[in-house]
Amino acid sequence: MSLTSLQDLYLDQIRDLYSAEQQIIEALPKMVDAATNPKLSAGFTKHLEQTRQQASRLERIGKRLEQKVTGKKCKGMEGLLKEGEEAVDEDGDPQMIDAALIAAAQRVEHYEIAAYGCARAYAEALGLDDDATVLQQTLDEEAETDEQLTKISLSMLNPDAQADIAIERGADRMEAPRRQSRPDDTEVRP
């Protein structure tokens, strides 16, 4: 494909995203099976269904553009998913494998967030408001999935580490009022 216009670039990005989504659809069932944390497994299952819907949205965009969305291989996603396969194939502590799966999944989400953000911006620049809305919907879903993965990851931390983090955060908040001063420069004391 020759990129001679923003329209060409936009279609190229849609095709790249479609390939990425198809690869994710193929990879997610393996991650569901590899996850031992029930929340993580359920999250992967939910995202598999979302990913199918996202691919369908890209097909609808292609129909509106009267273009096929197939025919391109997203090499970036291919590499990210190969790294994720390493976590699926690992032996060891199940909690550590789950943590590795989360790390791999978040790399995928961040890639998608960047790619969907660009595609949405191109759609807006081209005046394709319906496409921009659809792409924003997917972008929001990807950001939500990333946030959920972070929450699951934090919930899996060692309880002692969570307590240390809470203490550090609380100490930072407790020190702040002592540093404040009144308008007359008199120190505020708790």
The answer to whether residue 62 scores a pLDDT higher than 60 is yes
Q: Give the model confidence (pLDDT) of 115-174 as tens digits.
A: 999 999 999 999 999 999 999 999 999 999 999 999 999 888 655 555 555 666 665 544
Asked if residue 1 is part of any domain, the answer here is: no
Please indicate, yes or no, whether residues 171 and 125 belong to a single structural domain of this protein. no
Predicted confidence (pLDDT) per residue in 102-122, tens digit:
999 999 999 999 999 999 999
Give the whole-number percent of the chain exceeding pLDDT 90: 72
The pTM (predicted TM-score) of the whole model is: 0.81
pLDDT category of residue 2 using cuts at 50, 70 and 90: confident
Residue 187 bridge partners (DSSP): 181
Residue 69 tokens, joined: 């969305």
pLDDT for the residue numbered 123: 98
Spatial CA neighbour of 55 closest among 20, 98, 101? 20
Which domain does 185 fall in, by range? 159-190
Specify whether 143 is located in the same domain as 171.
no
Let me know if residue 43 belongs to a domain.
yes
Co-location of 148 and 186 in the same domain: no
Alpha-carbon gap, residue 150 to 176, rounded angstroms: 27
Instruction: Provide the CATH number for the domain around residue 148.
Output: 1.20.1260.10
Domains of the chain: total: 2
Task: Classify 121 as helix, strand or coil.
Answer: helix
Does the residue 140 lie in any domain?
A: yes
Does 54 share its domain with 14? yes
Asked whether residue 41 is domain-assigned, the answer is yes
